[in-house]
């Protein structure tokens, strides 16, 4: 705490902590690689189709039991590619290609509609994987669609419709960009109190943006907008970083012909739990109606922005149902079963993954050790092996 101003200094992560994180990440990569290339992972994968590890009643340890019904893992991606917005997510197309090839070889891949009908009817046959994307970045047209076509994989993209209409990136991308290009080495802002962020590296700038966005998620929507305007007014955002980052309607219509479906992600990507009732109605209704108008087909599925329990709101489910939505996905980690609430579906985010072996290991773990609210998630939400670039607790714009 600064003695003269009362401003709280937010320091970069200590070097010793970063080195410890890197060591743990390298160890996890080594274990995953050993399992993958030795063939041991194939044994675990076969085991996960018939058995699962569940917690004991006293919470101390786990026991093995036969799987009672099929499990469904919904994977959530944001962008395929690197460089530019979104700054919080990078996944090389070659690695995405390897992931999709792996899924085709070892898992049953379903479209979201097929998955939804199975969990509603209860007539499931075996475990399944569903591919989804949030936010509608243009990388999906340039990089993801050709790969999905190659392997004949269906997918669903949830669109923040106003961003597609205007071509402007979501608000949190502008926060990330503002902190990236801010000319000074320190950034002062009042959040829950005066804070000073040290911006002595790209990683520190990303962490500063992450902390600010996390705080903005807790504010009423009008206060959040006001704070965004204040931050954007303090630095000139480079136009070349903002242009042509979102899908357009022509690209979206082309993607629809390739087994890619679309759902609503609201109009402007707010935190819906922070919306007044009238604002909530507008965000959900207008996004659905405009999507249906542009696509000339019904839209039945929704993705909560950010998607954690505190982001979703207690009354949102009833509004979704009344407006004709049949499902809503979150970013709460875990798998789904038949009989689950269709407005609280779980998804595991794939962000900044570094190797196919780690992807394969974590996916198998997701089926073998299905977590629920009371448990630590089997698949950490950042899915990054490099904690310095994608720190735990990232805002997970979804």
Q: Is residue 394 part of a domain?
A: no
Q: Is residue 344 part of a domain?
A: yes
Same domain, 332 and 359: yes
Place of tokens 């900044």: 352
What's the CA gap between 8 and 3, in Å, rounded?
Answer: 10
- Strands 72-77 and 109-110, how do they pair? unpaired
To the question of pTM greater than 0.95 for the whole model, the response is no
Same domain, 137 and 250: yes
Same domain, 197 and 338: no
Q: Is residue 306 part of a domain?
A: yes
Tens of pLDDT, residue by residue, the chain (398 residues): 344 445 566 655 554 565 666 666 666 776 667 777 777 888 888 888 887 887 766 666 677 888 888 999 999 999 999 888 998 888 999 999 999 999 999 999 999 999 999 999 888 778 999 999 999 999 999 999 999 999 999 999 999 999 999 999 999 999 999 999 999 899 999 998 999 999 999 999 999 999 999 999 999 999 999 999 999 999 999 999 999 999 999 999 999 999 999 999 999 999 999 999 999 999 999 999 999 999 999 999 999 999 999 999 999 999 999 999 999 999 999 999 998 999 999 999 998 777 899 899 899 989 988 865 333 333 333 333 333 333 334 445 66
Strands in 8-10's sheet, in edge-to-edge order, are: 8-10, 194-198, 186-190
Domain CATH code at residue 167 = 3.20.20.370
DSSP, collapsed to helix, strand or coil, labels residue 9 as: strand
Q: Is residue 10 part of a domain?
A: no
Q: Which of 342, 363, 355, 345 is nearest to 385 (CA)?
A: 355
Is 371 within 8 Å of 378 (Cβ atoms)? yes
Q: Give DSSP secondary structure letters for 82-143.
A: -SSS-TT--B-HHHHHHHHHHHHHHS-EE-HHHHHHHHHH----S-EEEEEEES-BTHIIII
Final residue of a domain: which of 205, 220, 239?
239
Same domain, 58 and 159: yes
Same domain, 160 and 256: yes
Same domain, 207 and 328: no
Phi and psi, residue 340, nearest 5°: -70, 155
Tally of domains in the chain = 2
Same domain, 360 and 302: yes
pLDDT at residue 398, as a whole number: 65
Same domain, 135 and 219: no
Final residue of a domain: which of 200, 224, 239?
239
Q: Is residue 391 part of a domain?
A: no
Q: Is residue 88 part of a domain?
A: yes
Same domain, 216 and 347: no
Q: Note down the domain range covering 201.
A: 172-239
Final residue of a domain: which of 239, 271, 293?
239
Q: Is residue 338 part of a domain?
A: yes
Same domain, 226 and 259: no
Same domain, 293 and 181: no
Same domain, 216 and 253: no
pLDDT at residue 83, as a whole number: 87
Q: Is residue 292 part of a domain?
A: yes
Is 168 within 8 Å of 242 (Cβ atoms)? yes
pLDDT at residue 386, as a whole number: 32
What's the CA gap between 272 and 255, in Å, rounded?
Answer: 28
pLDDT at residue 50, as a whole number: 84
Alpha-carbon Rg for the chain, nearest whole angstrom, is 21
């Amino acid at each position: 705490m600064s003695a003269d101003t009362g401003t709280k200094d937010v320091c970069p992560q200590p070097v010793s902590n970063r080195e410890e994180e890197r060591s743990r990440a390298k160890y996890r990569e080594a274990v995953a690689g050993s399992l993958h290339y030795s063939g041991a992972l194939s044994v675990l994968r076969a085991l996960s189709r018939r058995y699962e590890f569940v917690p004991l009643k006293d919470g101390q340890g786990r026991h093995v039991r036969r799987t009672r019904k099929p499990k469904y893992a919904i994977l959530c991606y944001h962008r395929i590619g690197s460089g530019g917005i979104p700054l919080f997510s990078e996944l090389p197309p070659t690695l995405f290609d390897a992931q999709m090839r792996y899924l085709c070889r070892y898992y049953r891949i379903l479209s979201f509609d097929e998955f939804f009908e199975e969990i509603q009817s209860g007539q499931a046959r075996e475990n399944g994987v569903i591919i989804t994307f949030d936010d509608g970045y243009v990388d999906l047209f340039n990089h993801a669609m050709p790969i999905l076509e190659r392997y004949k994989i269906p997918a669903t993209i949830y669109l923040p419709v106003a961003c597609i209409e205007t071509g402007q990136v979501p608000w949190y991308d502008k926060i990330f960009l503002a902190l990236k290009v801010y000319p000074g080495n320190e950034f002062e802002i009042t959040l829950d109190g005066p804070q000073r962020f040290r911006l002595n590296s790209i990683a520190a700038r990303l962490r500063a943006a992450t902390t600010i966005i996390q705080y903005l998620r807790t504010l009423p929507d009008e206060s959040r907008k006001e704070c965004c305007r204040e931050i954007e007014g303090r630095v000139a955002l480079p136009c070349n970083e903002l242009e042509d980052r979102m899908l357009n309607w022509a690209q979206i219509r082309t993607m629809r012909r390739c087994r890619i479906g679309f759902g609503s992600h609201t109009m402007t990507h707010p935190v819906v739990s922070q919306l007044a009732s009238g604002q909530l109605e507008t965000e959900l209704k207008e996004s659905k109606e405009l999507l249906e108008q542009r696509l000339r087909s019904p839209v039945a599925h929704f993705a909560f922005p950010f998607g954690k329990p505190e982001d979703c709101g207690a009354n949102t489910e009833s509004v979704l149902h009344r407006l004709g939505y049949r499902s809503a996905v979150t970013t709460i980690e875990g798998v789904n079963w038949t009989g689950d609430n269709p407005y609280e579906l779980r998804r595991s985010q794939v962000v900044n993954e570094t190797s196919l072996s780690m992807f394969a290991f974590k996916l198998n773990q997701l089926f073998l050790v299905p977590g629920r609210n009371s448990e630590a998630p089997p698949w950490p939400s950042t899915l990054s092996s490099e904690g310095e670039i994608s720190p735990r607790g990232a805002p997970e714009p979804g």
